[in-house]
Structure 1
Amino acid sequence: MSPRTLSPTSSARSAEEVGRRVRRRRFGRYRLAPFIFTLGTAVLFGLFFLWPGVLGLSYSLTDYRGWGEPEFVGLSNYTDLFGDSEFYQSLGRTFVYAAFAVPVGYCLALAMAVALTTQRARGKTPARIIFFVPWLVSPIVAGVIWRWMFGESFGFVNYIIRLLGGDAVPWASNADLSLFVAVLASAWGGAAFNMLLFIAAISNVPRSYYEAAELDGAGSWQRFRYITLPSIAPTSVLVILLSSLGAMKEFAMIQALNGGGPGTQNRLIVQYIYETGFERSLVGYASAASMVLLVILMVIAIVQLRISKRKNAW
């Protein structure tokens, strides 16, 4: 036998060693990319979320005014905040705004998604573009547009009402009407993104469900109620959660639309924090208000997620 001739056993061992080296190289390569992406995400999260949160919490325990050395005051800002009627007014108005804006935005986005996923619908491509354009508009620009449309003396809507023989509606001087316009503007601007989520969810519902229901004599409303809505329940929870958090943090659109007016009757909580921290230079006090808002948002998210888990368990 030639010395270079290998036995079957040694050949098998060599093949196993080569396979192990290849697997190690692949395993190391596949582990490196996720590690890099995870590290980058962790750095960005710490830089733009964790560090500002820690800084805000530290400021909330001081009397910092934007200059000079902050002096530690403990929980004094929080005790003053919980006795501030303006804080409660802004927080309550924010809850009212969210209570109307979230359902209106949800229904509008779902209606748009159903219209675009209907098999008999025509002109879907132009409709998608038209429906999606509002989401591309800056919230500040959207606020200016709706302010121009619903201005009392110069608004387009009142101009049409006058042409029809009616009286001008006090869209800006009436607090409830002003909030109504803000709700419409919010639903108009945010419906497109939620529409995409609903379209993806509805497209994943098996067509066999609708075909079987149609053979059983179910109408369009019955198919929507008993097939579509239960099938997209997880997406509905996600849309409601994101919309609720977004409504509680609304600032730019409201600021450009009515500035929290008339007066301060429609001043939302983020506007209150902004005015307190930047216009009144009470950075520590505003930081305490932002920490309270953070806790409220966390509670809202936890409650909605637990409700979703209970429904899935049923």
Structure 2
Amino acid sequence: MSKVKYYYDSETLAYHKIKAKKGKKIGFMLLFLVASALFGFLCFIVLLNTPFFETPKDKLQAREIENLRIRYESLNRKMDQVDEVLASIAERDNNLYRTYFNTSPIPEEQRKAGFGGINRYKELEGYNNSDIIITTTKRLDVISKELVVQSKSLGEIAKLAKDKEKLLAAIPAIQPVKNEDLRHVASGFGYRSDPFTKIRKFHAGMDFSAKTGTPIYATGDGVVRRADNRASGYGNHIVIKHGYGYETLYAHLSKYKARVGQKVKRGDIIGYVGSTGRSEAPHLHYEVHKGGKAINPINFYYGTISAKEYVLISKLANQENQSLD
């Protein structure tokens, strides 16, 4: 019950009740209602931001966020495995493939380089789980770059391997006359006695003694550059240009089975043993040239003979006897 207020009237020397104005009462009531509404609204906001009063939608969003966080963690574990595999490939690439093909390794800083300049991840900032999202995105970017670098490297290795295959096919790697067709190795590379003048002179190839008509084989892939008898002393002869600085010469042929400009493969028959030109008996005079300089052919027979046969042929070829041309 509200208190009754009085005021003293000095004229009548009596107390009178103070009557409240009707408008003032309404104002107090409105102020009270507004204050109550504001207080209720503030309490509602506070309650919404506490875990004790989550709406179904809030709970669903919280579960989705937690699920995404778990997925990001799982993705990072998988990227750890990808990193290990890429590291293994890079190690083989640098220390095996590139070493074999005599190519400089790719520096580690080039393989794992990040992305400088502008902030590429600004739009991912400001969220509760921004750190894990940004870290994962950066790792994906680095791995993607590593894959690009490695892909280019393997493409380069594939090209080198293709060139290497061509080089290996071009190198004169077999005997020009088969062992079963040989009578013997008549003379080797080095200084020998000339069969006509008996003067000691340099013999720039190897002589293979065999019957007239014995097949002669191209010792490596190449193109026939010469097939004529216009070079002094060689008689009927063939010159094959193999590329990579290699050329081979086959002299004293009885007849040809290859023509100028013809592409030949290692093992193709290109002619037959004879005794044309400056020759004392039927044989094949065979030379190997690298960069225009004659080199010992015995170093190039690894494609057809065993280690034991190599030792025997080397011993015979190194004997300082008389050559057949």
Scaled by the length of structure 2, the TM-score of the pair is: 0.23
Scaled by the length of structure 1, the TM-score of the pair is: 0.24
Larger radius of gyration: 2
Higher relative helix content = 1
